[in-house]
């Protein structure tokens, strides 16, 4: 694994993005900023942005993904350059694990086990009943139902912990601030996992828990299940408890709620701080960033697909 990583850059203000010699150049009425291309690993655009094909060709040349979110914080899509680390053999193995029912079911369950274990540590919920139920189900839909039921218990606890009303999970649009935070955070994690997949030989369209689709990179959804508790649930609780996010950071219309510009800046800043924060990783006998945890998880998955090592999802609590 290449340990040299550039930075993840977030564009949160409206403006224009272009190529300027060997830099990416951002400008609007207030700001002019250049970023050397070799410093960039990924770009997240959480604003209205003008750009052109000259810039996209430049990003493609350097293998830099760019992820787009709309004004409400919904993930819109990604510019995903031609993969640099393709492996026909691994792609075949990915397809084999999808087509073989038992192999697919194992991976689908593994991603949900990762989600339930990591969530249980945050919300101090006993996972045994749901993990036992999960071990007995035989259909992907049943696997997803087990996760959904455990998630429901977590959302009830999240409401109690934060004091923000939740009622029920609503997505498009989120109907209250807590739902808006969850949706925005989940979108960031989905895009971040996709960005890390780009730097591996994995095919992002072949997935196991979520059905592969022509309209999305569904493997990102699978792996994101393991990391949403760490990067979304933990972060939401921290931000609200520390009053870094308050009701003033939201705009609420008739039947929707979303973070305002200041709220998005706060959330994205804390999200990136968490990505770069290091933690001890015993297997490697060194500290790694939370961002590196995602890439390590992907390489664990690759080893499983190649028959080298059985995939066991990250148990975040074991690292603390």
Which sign, positive or negative, has the C-alpha torsion 162, 164, 169, 171? negative
pLDDT at 82 over 90: no
Q: Which CATH number fits domain 7-64: 3.100.10.20, 3.40.50.970, 3.20.20.150, 3.90.420.10?
A: 3.100.10.20
Q: How far apart are CA 143 and CA 133, in angstroms?
A: 9
- Positions of CATH 3.100.10.20 in the chain: 7-64
CA-nearest of 159, 99, 121 to 167 is 159
How far apart are alpha carbons 169 and 183 in whole angstroms? 10
Which residue intervals of the chain are DSSP H helices?
Answer: 53-62, 88-99, 101-123, 128-136, 140-162, 177-198, 218-228, 234-241, 261-276, 290-305
100-129: average pLDDT: 97
Closest CA to 90 of 223, 206, 202, 195: 202
Q: Is 295 helix (H, G, I), strand (E, B) or coil?
A: helix
pLDDT tens-digit series, residues 136-169: 999 999 999 999 999 999 999 999 999 888 877 8
* pLDDT exceeds cutoff 50 at 217: yes
For residues 46-60, give the mean pLDDT: 92
What is the pLDDT, as a whole number, of residue 137? 96
CATH number of 88-319: 1.20.120.920
Distance (Å, whole) CA 63 – CA 267: 27
- How confident is the model over 54-83, as a mean pLDDT? 88
pLDDT in tens, 256-277: 888 888 999 999 999 999 999 9
Provide CATH 1.20.120.920 ranges for the chain: 88-319
pLDDT for residue 245: 93
At residue 72, the pLDDT reads: 72
DSSP label at 37?
G
Residue 63, pLDDT above cutoff 80: yes
Residue 41: enclosing H or E segment and its boundaries?
strand 40-45
Q: Is the pLDDT of residue 213 over 80?
A: no
């Amino acid at each position: 694994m290449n340990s040299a990583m550039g930075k993840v850059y977030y564009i949160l203000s409206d403006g224009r993005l272009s190529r300027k010699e060997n830099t990416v150049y951002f400008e609007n009425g207030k700001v002019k900023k250049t970023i050397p291309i070799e410093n960039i690993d990924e770009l997240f655009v959480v604003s209205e942005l003008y750009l052109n094909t000259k810039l996209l060709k430049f990003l493609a040349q350097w293998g830099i993904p760019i992820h787009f979110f709309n004004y409400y914080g919904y993930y819109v899509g990604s510019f995903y350059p031609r993969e640099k680390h393709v492996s026909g053999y691994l792609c075949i193995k990915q397809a084999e694990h999808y087509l073989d029912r038992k192999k697919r079911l194992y991976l689908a369950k593994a991603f949900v086990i990762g989600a339930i274990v990591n969530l249980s540590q945050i919300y101090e919920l006993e996972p045994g009943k749901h993990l036992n139920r999960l071990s007995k189900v035989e259909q992907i839909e049943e696997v997803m139902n087990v996760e959904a039921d455990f998630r429901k218990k977590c959302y009830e606890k999240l409401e109690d912990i934060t004091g923000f009303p939740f009622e029920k999970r609503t997505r498009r649009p989120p109907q209250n601030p807590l739902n808006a935070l969850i949706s925005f955070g989940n979108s960031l994690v989905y895009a971040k996992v996709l960005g890390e997949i780009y730097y591996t030989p994995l095919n992002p369209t072949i997935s196991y828990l979520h059905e592969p689709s022509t309209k999305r990179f569904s493997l990102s959804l699978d792996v994101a299940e393991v990391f949403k508790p760490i990067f979304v649930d933990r972060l939401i609780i921290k931000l609200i408890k520390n009053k870094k996010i308050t009701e003033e950071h939201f705009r609420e219309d008739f039947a929707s709620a979303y973070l305002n510009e200041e709220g998005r800046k706060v959330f994205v800043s804390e999200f990136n701080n968490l990505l770069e924060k290091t933690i001890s990783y015993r297997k490697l006998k060194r500290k790694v960033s939370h961002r590196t945890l995602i890439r390590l998880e992907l390489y664990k998955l690759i080893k499983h697909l190649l028959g080298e090592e059985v995939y066991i999802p990250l148990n975040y609590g074991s690292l603390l």
